[in-house]
Chains A and B, each alone.
Chain A
């Protein structure tokens, strides 16, 4: 079996007294991984630790089978990073900047320039390649950053909020470009986003982070498997805790949806029958006021993970 693309062992990242990641351990074997979490969850810190831009306070990171602590900066030739913030070289054209960045990753000058032209055409900036990046619009800068991440042909693409600031059309185009690179060219993807539809569309694996801890690591398919069989249950005020306890004891996933008197119940793989819900209500001594079908999306799974449910 080949080495995992990314393996974290008790990864801890601290900035002074603040702990950004606390003992995170998980393995990503390849394909497309989505890092989900609210702001401040530790997604960007994880990406920066993978790139060696922050030094872990503890634990190990292995990327493509190599320990980042010992592999040295040359490992970054195989990684393509698109930062969340704008990042460009002032005073030179887009194509010159990309060629320069490709050269730093080991491409020869001629090859680097050819690739810079090609990649800018690929992301749709062919006509704008001789303009300074500082003059690009927000959408163009996002595409430029994707081109910069791809120009040296990495094996792993690491994207931090790639659709930030894009209009709906630009977002769709960006997701298409990423999907094309990942699916048609076998480049592994690690995507940090707070936009669940982006992750659902591109990724096969998901890690949910919150306040520096890994809350869930599973496949998108597993997390959304219960979508077909989830039920929304309406309960009297104050009955939620008792019902939740009974449902969890019966092996169901229970997710609050923000209303005190409603919960979402689902099975990891199967359909929750209304009869089963009423039986649970009876067991808990709680009258069930209503049961209706509820789609269980990645968003539900995400919220469930944040609430610390299994």
Chain B
């Protein structure tokens, strides 16, 4: 390659027609991948999927009727209560395994300095003097963020679903056919709201450490206040103040389970809360970015 040209040369190659936010998506993704912690968490998510897939495969080979056995065992243990079945309910449990140890820490690690860094280095002026618009910038950054969150969560869960369907006897597919759609919708909404919320926090605190602290405090506080108010007033809608309960209700609802017990927030309210957080954070970030780029 023609490096080390001490003289300026005009560019004679062809230009790409890719949208300007595409390089931003790519760069954000690369930046995330450069973090050792993020790589470890991603591999952790993939490893969980691989282990569960292998277990599914071998159990199916060795004890083909294990699902019926598990159900029977569930009935014995639970009595009249709901039996334990390897259908959408298992995916609900799995989803929580992926949300708390994988998705939330990943969101913190990736998002804590993404836009705060751009504001600190005044990079927005460099971006917006190029063909990218504030909306394109936000789209590039946020889509990469969400893609990164879905890679070690949705992808392994879909892989587990595939292995489940391929190793299961005929008829099991009918019980879990809506699972991929439910998982995708739940994880997309949770990831998008987290990604935008954390980015909005970083633009306020301008510090990765403060963003992490504020996020953890809000998470714990909301998790305490919501249930406390729900208990005091006997109104389960107050549970929607707890971030974790919204995640639970959204996952539950999208996976096709009926309205959960009264101690959880209603599905529609939780979707509205997460959707509202997403929309508000998006509008806030767009205004912030426009203000910095177009007036600053």
Which A residues lie at the B interface, using CB under 8 A? 15, 51, 53-55, 73-77, 79, 81, 83, 85-92, 100-101, 103-108, 111, 114-115, 117-119, 121-122, 126, 133-134, 148, 150, 152-153, 180-181, 184-185
Contacts and interface: CB of A to CB of B under 8 A. Distances in A.
A86 B13 contact: no
Nearest to B120: A90
Contact of B126 (A115, A126, A148): A148
B39 interface: no
A198 B262 CA distance: 74
A104 B131 contact: yes
B130 A76 contact: yes
B109 interface: no
B4 A126 contact: yes
Interface in B4-21: 4-11, 13-18, 20
B2 to A, nearest CB: 6
Contacts of A148: 126
10 contacts: A53-B294, A54-B295, A81-B129, A83-B125, A87-B125, A90-B117, A107-B16, A118-B2, A121-B4, A126-B4
Interface stretch (B23-31, B189-197, B274-282): B23-31
B118 interface: yes
B23 A87 contact: no
Interface in B110-133: 113, 117-118, 120-133
Task: Give the secondary structure class of B's interface.
Answer: loop
A89 B13 CA distance: 26
A90 B121 contact: yes
Contact of B23 (A15, A83, A100, A119): A100
B5 A108 contact: no
Nearest to A111: B13
A184 B118 CA distance: 34
B8 A181 contact: yes
Contacts of B7: 122
A159 B157 CA distance: 51
Interface string B112-156: 010001101111111111111100100000000000000000000
Contact of B3 (A75, A83, A118, A153): A118
Given A88-B123, A90-B117, A106 B3 contact: no
Contacts of B118: 89-90
A88 B158 CA distance: 39
A79 B3 contact: no
B160 interface: no
Given A53-B294, A104-B131, A152-B11, 6 more contacts: A51-B129, A92-B31, A103-B16, A107-B11, A121-B5, A185-B10
Which residue, B2, B27, B113, B130, has most C-beta atoms of chain A within 10 A?
Answer: B130
B293 interface: yes
Nearest to A153: B11
A7 B130 CA distance: 20
A101 B27 CA distance: 10
Contacts of A118: 2-5, 9
A115 B120 CA distance: 26
Interface in B173-203: none
A86 B15 contact: no
Contact of A76 (B123, B129, B294, B295): B129
A92 B28 CA distance: 11
A73 B123 contact: no
A190 B214 CA distance: 45
Contacts of A87: 121-126
Contact of A89 (B6, B121, B131): B121
A103 B129 contact: no
A114 B113 CA distance: 28
B20 A86 contact: no
Contact of B8 (A103, A106, A185): A185
Nearest to A79: B129
Nearest to B117: A90
A185 B9 CA distance: 8
Contacts of B117: 89-91
B1 interface: yes
A118 B9 CA distance: 8
A79 B23 CA distance: 18
A100 to B, nearest CB: 5
Contacts of B10: 153, 185
B22 to A, nearest CB: 8
Contacts of B123: 87-90
B130 A104 contact: yes
A106 B16 contact: yes
Contacts of A185: 8, 10
Nearest to A123: B8
Contacts of B24: 100, 104
B16 to A, nearest CB: 5
Which residue, B3, B26, B118, has most C-beta atoms of chain A within 10 A?
Answer: B3
Nearest to A81: B129
Contact of B113 (A79, A91, A121, A126): A91
A100 B25 CA distance: 11
Contact of B13 (A15, A107, A184): A107
A74 B133 CA distance: 10
Contacts of A89: 117-118, 121, 123, 126
Given A86-B121, A88-B122, A101 B3 contact: no
A98 B7 CA distance: 17
Nearest to B3: A117
